[in-house]
Every structure is written in structure tokens, then in C-alpha cells.
Amino acid sequence: DGNVKRVLCRLYNVDEAPQKSAVEKALWAFSETLLEPTNDPWTHNQAIMELGATVCTPNKPKCEQCPVQSLCDAFSEGTQTERPVKVAKKKTPHHHIGVGVISRKDGRILIQRRPPQGLLGGLWEFPGGKQEDHETVEETVKREITEELEIEVEVGELIAIVKHAYSHFKITLHAYHCCYMSGDPTPRAATDCRWVPLEQLEEYAFPKANKRILDVLT
């Protein structure tokens, strides 16, 4: 119970997060020590839970009203508002993605289809990939297109910047207009690629972030 853990962490001034397995074991040991003098463990546990819910609260604990204030190590050290120690939240990874809206002289746009398995499986997208260290996004676009499709393009103007969040990471998608220069498009990681008239792009299923680029184009 969260109330019980909070009371124990303050009573014993535990300076590590209670989510850690070693700390959790220590809290169990502390709890058993407190139970030893009593013949009514149920009432004892209920009392600690009630203490945590009404007096030893998460924010602004009412230490002046606490019946065990004299036994509380955290109160003695002045650290009651710092207990329990909170687990630091992991920073959500953020990636910059460069993609190319590749057009040729007849106005058709080159798109590719993601493999059926994995994230966004089977959806169509504008070719590109993750920016690597020490390269500009424009360099990312050119490199990724060459690696993914074995063609050469000239990277032009920035069309759109789209921010999107997935469950475990965030991306900033940079879309550039690219002129097709040479090579026969050959998908290496994708399952398919094709030249599509601009007005027909909406007939293809795109991920949300790519769809926002499409909205700018159309």
C-alpha cells in the first residue's frame, strides 16, 4: 500500500526509492519489526494506512498532529517532505527525421511502403530516416535516399516540419522537396516503391506524421 510505504520511508528516513527491490525488502522487514509488539496485526496495518492517508500525506504532511512524530527519523532530520524518494523519470528519446518529397519531371512523387511487421507496418511513407551525429538534416535526406532506394537526388527547399509523439519516443520530421536526378529506384528496406501522381497520394495509407506533410502538398 502506498500509504504504508510512505509512512515507513519517513519513519526510517529511507533515502532510496521504494520501487527498488532491495528497499522494498527493507520496508517489509521494518513492517515486521513494528508488528512484533502487537497481537492484532490487522488493526495495526489499518492504523498505519489511516495515518498515511490523513496525517502522513504525500504533500504537506501534518507532522504536528502525528502521534509517532518522536519516532520519525525523517522528521528528526527535516527530510519528511523529501521522503519517499521519487524515481527520476526517464527522458523520452527525441529523434530528428529527414525525409524527401521526391519529384521527377512529370510531377509524380516517389513513395515507399514499410515492411508489414514492426512499427507502422504496411503503411506508405516519404523516403528518409534518422539524422546521425555531425550531419545536417539535408545530408540525412540525401544519404538515406541513396541508401534506401539507390538513387541520387538534389535536396531542395524545406517543405514542412512536423512534430509527433509515439508511445516511447518523439520525432521531429523535416520534409524537403527533392529533385530526382538518376538511378532506378530499388527498395532495400521497404517492400515496394512507386511513382504516384500528386493528386492520387491521398489514396494511399500514410502514418499520421507523413499525412501532415501530404496535407501541405495538397
Domain ranges of the chain: 2-82, 94-217
Segment 52-89, tens digit of pLDDT = 999 999 999 999 999 999 999 999 999 999 999 998 88
CATH architecture of 94-217: Alpha-Beta Complex (3.90)
pLDDT, one tens digit per residue, over 18-36 is 999 999 999 999 988 887 7
Q: Is the domain defined by 2-82 classed in CATH 2.130.10.10?
A: no
pTM of the model: 0.65
CA–CA distance from 73 to each of 1, 16, 115, 127 (Å)? 21, 14, 58, 60
Query: Angle 206-167-135 (CA atoms, 0-180°, nearest 5)?
Result: 70
User: Residue 210: which region, alpha, beta or left (left: phi > 0; alpha: psi -120 to 50)?
Assistant: alpha
